[in-house]
Structures are given as C-alpha cells and as structure tokens.
Amino acid sequence: MIEKFTDEFKKGEINCAQMVLLHFANRCGLDKKMAKNLSVGFGGGMREASFCGSVAASYVVLGLVCRDDKKLLEAKFKEFNERYEKCYKSKICKEILEASYLEPKGLEKIEKNSLFTTICPRLTSECVEILESILAKV
C-alpha cells in the first residue's frame, strides 16, 4: 500500500487526507468526488503545517462509519490514537517532518530529503492500515 501512496504523493494531484478518505469512500457512503472535496482542506496539515491531514481524514472516516453509536465511536477514536501514537510522537506535520514547508529553510529540508515522498506516504499508509484493522471489527 505504501507504494500506491508514494506514487500519489509524487504525482501531487491529491493530498494525504484525500488519499485516506478516497480509500474509504465507499465504506463511508461517499462518492469519490465528494470524498475528494470534503478532505481537500485537510492536506498539508490543515494548509498550515499543523494537524496532520491523514489523521484528520482518519477521524472523518471513523465518524462516518461509527456515527450511529457514540460509545463505539469513542472506543474507535481511542484505539486509533493509541495505535497511531505507537508509531508517531506527534500529529502535527511540522513536528512529524521536523520542518515546516511554510518556511524557506524548512521547505528546503523537506525537498532535499524527499520528506513528502518518504515520511508522508508511510504515515498515510499506516493510518489506512490502522483504520482497516479497526473497521474490520465493525
């Protein structure tokens, strides 16, 4: 799966949040266009190197799939967060990448080290894998 997301990041046509929501569009009752439009603003850490778009889209997926059972939803949010936090110490893009694309030196570091095509696809893939595992039980 990571190869698929790496290719998508290299193409640059959709962002991390869109990748997550598109992957689960059918399960969420969304058509592809709606999924893409709903998640466009989450990419790039909410467009400001802040809260990770892959995580934000994961929360949207959980909310849509578990919307009719608040207890289940809370349990799934908790499970997602616990599993995510085993892999990553932060949900903030500039902390995950250790650089902000909004700052010239940060963008230079990101481009020089290909962080958008290494770290981001791996994180997006891990979010999807966590969701697949969590939702298999729903």
pLDDT, one tens digit per residue, over 50-74 is: 999 999 999 999 999 999 999 999 9
What pLDDT shows up at residue 55?
A: 98
Q: What is the pLDDT of residue 61?
A: 98
Domain ranges of the chain: 2-135
pTM summary value: 0.95
Note the pLDDT of residue 122.
96
Name all contacts of 38-44 with Cβ < 8 Å and 24+ positions apart. 39/15, 40/15, 41/17, 42/15, 42/16, 42/17, 42/18, 43/14, 43/15, 43/16, 43/17, 43/18, 44/15, 44/93, 44/101
pLDDT value, residue 4: 87
Alpha carbons 38 and 17: distance in angstroms, whole number: 9
Instruction: Please give the Cα distance from 52 to 137 (Å, whole number).
Output: 25
Segments in the chain below pLDDT 50 = none
Cα 114 versus chain centre, distance: 18
> Residue 1: what pLDDT?
81
What pLDDT score does 2 carry?
83
Q: Which pLDDT belongs to residue 39?
A: 96
- What's the pLDDT at 137? 81
